[in-house]
A and B are shown apart, each in its own frame.
Chain A
Amino acid sequence: MSYPYNLDKNSKQQQLLDGLNELTAHHMEHNAAYRAMLTKSGQQEQGSSLEAVPYLPVQLFKLMELVSVPQEDVVKVLTSSGTTGQQVSKIFLDKETASKQTKALVEVMKPLIGGQRLPMVIFDSKSVLKDRRSFSARGAGILGFANFGRGHFYALNDDMSVDWDGLEQFITQHNGNKILLFGFTYMIWKHVVQEAKLKGKTIDFGDSILIHGGGWKKLQEEAVDGETFKLTLQSVLGIRKVHNYYGMVEQVGSIFVECGQGHLHTPNYADVVVRDPITFNPLPYGQQGLIQVLSLLPTSYPGHSLLTEDTGTIHGEDNCPCGWKGKYFSVAGRIPKAELRGCSDTYAFGGGRSA
């Protein structure tokens, strides 16, 4: 069976529920703010089902720092990517959580790319990795995925132009080998595909697999969907297999990758629930709503059950034609920003948001 997509509903749900309830109890004990939030909002600490496990909105990590280990145990701080002026999430990892994250990433990817380190192209510039202790989502993603490859080649220059000569050399050098490619969806589209089209470049990576993630928001604005993305990459760069993944910096261990059928899958130690965007009540499979993500991994901060601002649909459980078990789902996009009126300017005179 393809670990970690091998547990069926009955065994997985019990295992998850026990683990999540333990994590809730752990954070209640070690995090005063988390304890206050649950107690003062009158939530059941121990859920009787996955849907009943208390959750925090992802946005909360932008408003406050939440950490469940002594400050000196924090080895890594992850921050979410945000456009200038936006608040960013801060996620605190201790050694244990950080190593669980690395291990989980290896496990969820193994069924797709195998156990061997492949020659690897990263569609980004090396300069995003400068600060080793505080990583942006981009940096953390790259470092995480870099573990699957060898002979890493960063295909973008600092000005985001493509190093075409370097790429050609890399392909010649690894001729006949399977190549692993990694990058962020929008960066690949904007900087690689567009430049290739503009300059009339075509490349053939041969036996190759691209793993990409980071959201479709900007591509949706340009009316590019998953299928168009895949086909374009196949025709322009000759990439044979293209797999999207969904994940967020706020929840360590929740990396959901696309199977051969194009469905995002939940591994054994993570799950998703879809909720009504207004009432937050759980929705049945097939209905679109807000995605809640669950993961057994976060112990250094209370992120084991999070309500995201993404919308999506669960298509089924244990019965995806690809053969992997677990829930499989798709992501539709981000809920639109709240549009509010009022006496104060939304866009203040001279910039900046007023209180």
Chain B
Amino acid sequence: MSRGQRIGYALAGPGIAIVIAFLISAVIIALAGINPFSTWGTVIDFTTSTSNMVEIVNRAIPLFLAGLAVAVGFRMNLFNIGVEGQYRLAACVAAAAGGAALLPGLLNTLLIIIVAMLVGAVWAGIAGVLRVTRNVNEVVATIMLNYIAFNLANWLLNNPFKYQVEGSSNVSTEPIPDSAWLEGFGIGGNDLWGFLWIAILLGIGYSVVVNRTRFGFDLRASGENAEAARASGVNAKRMILAAMLISGALAGTIGLPILLGTEPHAYDLSFSEGIGFNGIAVALLGRLAPVGMVFGALLFSFLDISKGAFQLEGLAPELVIVLQGTILYVAILADEFMREKQVKKAQEIAAARVESKPSDASEVKA
């Protein structure tokens, strides 16, 4: 099967999903008594302004990182549903560590990144250890760890990490000093976050590790056929632990583009929520491939930003979540459907090749 054909099969799922989701949303908008076409017009006007386009890219960065974190586990059928809790706890602790300004300048930035990755890895690691030693299902364990993480982060914020400007009721961690921020670059007066470069590097790193290393091979093998992988000498327990730790470390970075890129450069109660759960959607839409996840992240970020446009049209902004959910649901169905088609097609091609071989041989003899 040619490369073009394979890409076609890969794109068909998300493509169908987007079309169906937009049709459904048109029906919902019409039911609310509003013209869907004028709504989409407003959405396009709203999201194509320079400031909003920069914002779409910025907000796609954490989503992409979340997609990476989720994808590492999903590659081997290990479901880290706890990315949400991992990144929020990591962001809280890393923000406090950075705010303490223990190190000068970019060394502080480095410290923030390391702390965040460590916290994420430890939190995910708990689920990994429970799975390996006590056979606790990682889905349930990571979900429970989410709720524990939310409460723990909340407690840390209100106790050891508490920082309050006099006269203000807003509680946050101590803001990270500006020497540690990652300078973005301006486009029409809007800053593109500096963490973009690190995100791209992490994406390339993910691709290389998964596709070009022994570890990546073992990871994919464990996901596709755990029994066969075990038989060929892959240590299943070690793989589970390693995948969990890497997934958690990547999850730890999710909050950093925001912390290092935008005000208030601190963790507070209004810190972005839900990126971890949306990361699952981004990973699945991107079929666990980095380039696919870039587009998945941009799509979800675009939808998030277009909430403002829906509000302008008098629609409840939560319509966006319905849209995101619909896209994800239809995409996974369409994906499975296309995958089966692809397998059939590949089998046909292989069968045709096998049939043509003997006749080739006989021709040579003759």
Bind each other = no
